[in-house]
Chains A and B, each alone.
Chain A
């Protein structure tokens, strides 16, 4: 996608395209519903994607490093189950938050350990842990739900700063800055791009590829724990089937943000924009009463379309050049 030098290079950047898509969605939304441009509604709508977006940030690092984590949704369910169980035993809100992040971190570590120690592909390991994590939630809960939490627990996911900006959204913005710096301004980020592009070359130039992969899976788990705390607090209950489909949605957001699924390239800015594109799209579809399952169809189409369109454009360009050549 990069074609530096030309005056139009800016217009060809994926981020620019995303900004245009975002603007288009906002314009269409505000025409379709008079409630869209209300600031209260807009800030409220960030709640529906802030939790997912937290995982998207760390998933970006995992995917740039040529890996994938299909177990994030199950990890969220596992963390939430742990919180619900601990809440029954009288833990306070702050210790529940810590516990959730701890459980997520350990689960992420387990992924990272099996993947790097036994040298097996991330996809099959996380398919296994997907069943295992959610399976544990099912064993603990069966067809029941945890619904008793401390009195002030709801504030985590439903509290507002100045009565308007959800805490979740602020936390997400804070982490977005941290992840931006981590990926684009530190040696950790440079090394990640290096091994994402060519793991062998990176290894031979002294980057401890497996250590990085292990810690990025661990980080991804920790973010799942954080997201689980917010989600549980927002909906006020733990069910074993919660966050179903989040693995696909988070991966779709990362890929839509211009991160190559083959690893090695992508920007945090693009991922942030795609988070907002998806968030505003969901919000708009909700405003015009389109059912949730239709949203998964849209996400599926976006996922395939976002990857297929640059390839199609390139194929078409090659085909045209060939014709002119002949």
Chain B
């Protein structure tokens, strides 16, 4: 069983690679520079948000409100940019992070301090934040010509041939990797999701850690809200609607256990890559984009069923059997 889990990322990597090859054989244009560039930028946004979504799922929770948070932050910064076209990028990013943090802390307060199930809280805030976008904008759109120049220029600017969005995403994902694998706080999150009561007894504070998790998803959503609006140069109420399903799908495909405690960042990134490749390939191989939703649903179900097989009968063996003296086992 363990072996299967260990190899899971490799198998998924192989599937993603063969998917790329198959699509390229059918439509070589998919591997052209322009197409790959779009793929990387789309993948950067989904990858970043999927890695953020992974944190609450690791602790046994979920955050459905991330796209609504993105829409709110995106709209708020867009309106600011419209009112002050010369606003520097650093200030925009700081404001985006700030708004995202506040919205995330709002989730966190209800989840961590009042102990309300994350699914209920974020289901509620999902529509509250979305409604707040409407109140803020009075239902109006912010169009490409309304934005200030620096606002739009920075995220799509290029460094070494890749967009800034891609570089920011890579930085954040690398930071998340270090955090989850090499820092005590990160390991605490795995412990918290894997066995909450055991985590409590070894002194891991569930309240603080849960608060931290939802603050982080809030921060990530805030940043992505700005990047998303700047990438598509448009802000409206329904931005990124349904994106939460894609982030959850990327996690589930990547082998993150929905009940918490298990999952790797490479897995999540491969899951995100899988989805982005399929979505971007559909129009190229002449399939209507209306297939996107059903495909991601089917893929999630398939991944969930496959995961359930590898997760069964785990978490029972506390000590390696051969290290325990026979006399004590008989007890």
Interface residue ranges, A against B (CB under 8 Å): 68, 114, 118-121, 123-125, 127-136, 138-139, 141-143, 240, 245, 248, 251-252, 255, 261-262, 291, 293-294, 296-297, 299-301, 303-304, 307-308, 311-312, 315
Contacts and interface: CB of A to CB of B under 8 A. Distances in A.
Contacts of A138: 290-291, 293-294
A131 B305 CA distance: 16
B305 A120 contact: yes
Determine the main DSSP class of B at the interface with A.
helix
A142 B249 CA distance: 22
Contact of B294 (A120, A127, A139, A312): A139
B169 interface: no
Interface string B289-330: 011111111101100110111001000000000000000000
B117 A261 contact: yes
Interface stretch (B10-18, B39-47, B73-81, B130-138): B130-138
Contacts of B132: 297
A27 B305 CA distance: 51
A259 to B, nearest CB: 12
A248 B123 contact: yes
B294 A132 contact: yes
B305 A139 contact: no
A121 B259 contact: yes
A289 to B, nearest CB: 14
Interface string B112-141: 001111011101111110111011000100
B102 interface: no
B62 A131 contact: no
B116 A293 contact: no
Nearest to B123: A248
A114 B127 contact: no
A297 B127 contact: yes
Contact of A114 (B116, B131, B305): B305
A131 B304 contact: no
Q: What 3 pairs between A and B have smallest CB-CB spacing?
A: A135-B294, A131-B297, A132-B297
A286 to B, nearest CB: 16
Contacts of B293: 131-132, 134-135, 138
Given A124-B248, A304-B124, A118 B304 contact: yes
Contacts of B167: none
Nearest to A68: B119
A312 B312 CA distance: 38
Given A129-B301, A297-B127, 10 more contacts: A125-B304, A128-B300, A131-B297, A135-B297, A138-B291, A248-B124, A252-B124, A255-B120, A304-B125, A307-B120
Contacts, number: 140
Contact of B305 (A118, A127, A143, A301): A118
B291 A304 contact: no
B291 A124 contact: no
A195 B99 CA distance: 42
A311 B114 contact: yes
21 contacts: A118-B304, A118-B305, A119-B308, A120-B307, A121-B258, A123-B62, A124-B300, A125-B301, A128-B297, A128-B304, A131-B249, A131-B294, A132-B301, A142-B290, A293-B237, A296-B127, A300-B123, A304-B110, A307-B116, A308-B110, A311-B114
B268 to A, nearest CB: 15
A307 B115 CA distance: 10
Interface string B87-129: 0000000000000000000000010001111011101111110
A253 to B, nearest CB: 13
Contact of B114 (A142, A245, A301, A312): A312
Contacts of A300: 123-128, 131
